[in-house]
């Protein structure tokens, strides 16, 4: 039934997320078709492919953010530590606390200070929590390599920071709730090269104790930063399919599928 092949099986590493025959739709539009893959614990997995191949949709299915959009639905299994997050009775809110997300455009809450932005996930989780968050906020900002730059302006508005700082603020905000997995949807595409490098260095740091899945248009970025690479391509009906998935060096230097080779050598996409 499953169409697993050798490259899909984990080697000696532990699986964090196992995607089984995942399909997703936007209304009548079939966005991804029968995708199965295993995301390894404490590794960076890059998802690459041309525009409209379902990369972001796949990512959004991993923390049930896909269904937030009107008319969107998903089918199949996504096992997080072996438990299906699409099983009936699973609260998507709980899933999203375990699987955090960073978006393409930095989106700090404009009505909140730097501090409140980072504390938002903790503060807004319940009405009653009266704990102090100073330690957590500092830790999250340090992990996001932003502490030194903002420690004197914690009360300033988050939107007043530079683009790269805003994106690291968003990463700190996601880290503050201590997710097991961090999903990043083209996190550097709106940033300049220096800020991009800072984000990439940061990802290498974070992956020591979290799992990262990154969607990127930038193939150099995928090659630089990731351990595993998945290549998606839309089929004749426009639904994204997994073409190739393997160790990043292998996918980029010795792709098994000729479509992967065509894409990474820049012949299309």
- Site of interaction with another protein (CB under 8 A): 63, 65, 68, 70, 93-98, 100-101, 103, 105, 107-111, 120-121, 124-125, 159, 170, 173-174, 177
Q: Which is nearer to another protein, 105 or 217 (CB)?
A: 105
Calculate the CA dihedral of residues 261, 16, 216, 184 and round it to 10 degrees. 180
Q: How far is the CB of 58 from another protein (least distance, A)?
A: 15
Q: Which is nearer to another protein, 107 or 218 (CB)?
A: 107
From the centroid of its chain, how far is CA 89? 24
What is the residue whose two structure tokens read 């937030």? Answer: 68
Q: How far is the CB of 244 from another protein (least distance, A)?
A: 28
Q: Which is nearer to another protein, 95 or 188 (CB)?
A: 95
Q: How far is the CB of 137 from another protein (least distance, A)?
A: 14
Report the chain's terminal Cα–Cα distance, integer Å: 32
Q: How far is the CB of 93 from another protein (least distance, A)?
A: 5
Q: Which is nearer to another protein, 101 or 207 (CB)?
A: 101
Q: Which of 241, 265, 249 is nearest to 46 (CA)?
A: 249
Give burial (CB, 10 Å; 0-12/13-18/19+) of 197: middle
Secondary structure tally for the chain: helices H, strands E? 10, 10
Q: How far is the CB of 107 from another protein (least distance, A)?
A: 4
Q: Which is nearer to another protein, 118 or 223 (CB)?
A: 118
């Amino acid at each position: 039934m499953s169409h697993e092949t050798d490259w899909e099986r984990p080697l000696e590493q532990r699986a964090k997320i196992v995607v089984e025959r995942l399909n997703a739709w936007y209304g009548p539009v079939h966005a991804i078709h029968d995708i199965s893959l295993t995301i390894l614990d404490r590794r960076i997995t890059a998802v690459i492919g041309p525009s409209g191949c379902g990369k972001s949709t796949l990512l959004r299915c991993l923390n049930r953010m896909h269904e937030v959009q009107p008319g969107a639905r998903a089918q199949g299994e996504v096992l997080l530590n072996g438990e299906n997050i699409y099983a009936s009775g699973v609260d998507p809110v709980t899933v999203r606390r375990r699987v955090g997300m960073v978006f393409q455009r930095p989106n700090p809450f404009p009505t909140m200070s730097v501090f409140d932005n980072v504390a938002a996930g903790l503060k807004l989780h319940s009405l009653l929590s009266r704990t102090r968050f100073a330690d957590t906020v500092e830790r999250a900002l340090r992990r996001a390599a932003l502490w030194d730059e903002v420690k004197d302006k914690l009360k300033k508005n988050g939107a007043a920071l530079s683009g790269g700082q805003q994106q690291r603020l968003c990463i700190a905000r996601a880290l503050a709730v201590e997710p097991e997995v961090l999903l990043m949807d083209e996190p550097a595409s709106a940033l300049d090269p220096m800020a991009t490098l800072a984000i990439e260095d940061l990802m290498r740091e974070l992956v020591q104790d979290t799992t990262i899945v990154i969607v990127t248009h930038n193939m150099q970025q995928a090659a630089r930063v990731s351990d595993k690479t998945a290549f998606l391509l839309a089929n004749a009906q426009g639904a994204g399919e997994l073409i190739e998935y393997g160790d990043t060096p292998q996918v980029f230097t010795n792709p098994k599928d000729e479509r992967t080779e065509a894409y990474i050598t820049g012949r299309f996409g």
